[in-house]
Structure 1
């Protein structure tokens, strides 16, 4: 399993995969732990402030389960990096917090034929969907192109309810475990949205777009 992002979404996903005994877990993030992260990024503590997030994450995961192997990638995700490491993993969790990374991960996973879980959060709302390349809708089938810089900046400054990443991140870990165990029905072709204010889930059917630049024919 590869988790890209060791923040709000990546924290619960990493904890649950470590607890489940997933033998090898990769975690990628170039950031360092800051005090403001601790409201929602439960992998990290005040003792880790200033440390690389991937190192803080590895220490927490291995303390929980010393029998797992955690590979760390303290680098910013780019096309070259993904081409190099995707081949080593069976499933990817997109736990990033920006649109550019999400489109990059989608395109790389589609090219490599790697199934992945998309997760997104903003204020009081979250969403997740699993992508099985060439067999289900991808992220670009849902969102054709990146939003304008103005919208992207506004989203990054909007904040998030601290417990919300825990809900979505746990769902992403669930999808990862279902995939590797071959059980249940994956969240492919379906976008699951969560409204924490109303405590309500909603499912939206998402079909493949024939003209999709990533997965279209």
Structure 2
């Protein structure tokens, strides 16, 4: 009777104090200890008087209760571990978190599940993590592009923050590629980011571009633009190129392998020094890089998924000051020094 009262009392105290069901197991263990400690006394006539039966029966009862409770605790521990561990997705299938994240893409008829899988398998290189690169990188990351490379040798400065929205005041002085990587990973942990903190040069351009399915160029350096175009033509990789100044921007998809012109076909002569000022020299409206950069990201998503009509063979020009956008046809040049006669 004493052991039974102790068992019930300890269990009731644990429930009242909110200690959990583990105290039920402890109470059962305590009951068993009490029984074992009392064996010498209980071997006589005391079992009949104190316990109301044979001591062996009470010992069997205690052991069975202990085994049952222990088994329950083991099952609960296994269930908790199973819930805590992420369930890997089957090959080619979406994880539950990815289904929720990309649901608005998946329900689009032009993208759907197959299109989203193509985005997740795509590798896109972005040249420049500045005004145009900022929205491009953010939207490619949000869209779920599987591998995103970004190359830039610059660091974040206070004057960048008026328009380069991927960076923050707390990351002034940090290399732009690492600042962009931090923002992209915070936005989407399911993607791979490859930052290249260096200047794109002729020695590495072609080999770097070959690792990717699509290149987006958002630099404001004329020489880099022509270099990226040559590398893309040599590697057979399509190039989405955008440019901005003051209130205007333009973009097009250059891909001679599909019959579209390359950048040099449309702009065969490099502008004279000072003829095309940079943003630092001429200024730029803060939202303009976001407008053109978002358009570039949109064209990238369309190209990867095969949705709609892209800008291959067409040049889009946007005038933000007068809210006008026009598209003009552009063609290959047979005498192009870069792609003429290659495809």
Scaled to the shorter chain, the TM-score interval is over 0.9
- 1:11-46 per-residue CA deviation (whole Å, 9 max, x = no partner) reads 001000100111110000000000000000000000
The answer as to 2:187 corresponding to 1:187 is no
User: In 2 relative to 1, CA 5–154 (structure 1 residues): closer, same or farther, beyond 3 Å?
Assistant: closer
Structure-1 separation of matches of 2:315 and 2:304? 21
The alignment's TM-score, normalised by the length of structure 2, stands at 0.62
Contact 1:109 1:133 in 2 (8 A): no
The answer as to 2:218 corresponding to 1:85 is no
User: In 2 relative to 1, CA 154–132 (structure 1 residues): closer, same or farther, beyond 3 Å?
Assistant: closer
> Per-residue deviation at 1:98?
1.3
> Per-residue deviation at 1:154?
6.5
The answer as to 2:190 corresponding to 1:67 is yes
> Per-residue deviation at 1:151?
1.6
Structure-1 separation of matches of 2:163 and 2:262? 27
Contact 1:92 1:114 in 2 (8 A): yes
- Alignment correspondent of 1:3: 126
Where 2:322 maps in the other structure, the secondary structure is: coil
- Alignment correspondent of 2:219: 96
Structure-2 separation of matches of 1:79 and 1:91? 18
- Please identify which structure carries the higher strand content: 1
Structure-2 separation of matches of 1:11 and 1:155? 15
The alignment's TM-score, normalised by the length of structure 1, stands at 0.97
Q: Which has the higher contact order (CA 8 A, sep 6+)?
A: 1
The unaligned stretches of length 5 or more in structure 1 are none
Larger radius of gyration: 2
Where 1:194 maps in the other structure, the secondary structure is: strand
Contact 1:98 1:156 in 2 (8 A): no
- Alignment correspondent of 1:129: 252
- 1:41-60 per-residue CA deviation (whole Å, 9 max, x = no partner) reads 00000001000000000000
The unaligned stretches of length 5 or more in structure 2 are 1-123
The answer as to 2:229 corresponding to 1:106 is yes
Structure-2 separation of matches of 1:174 and 1:125? 18
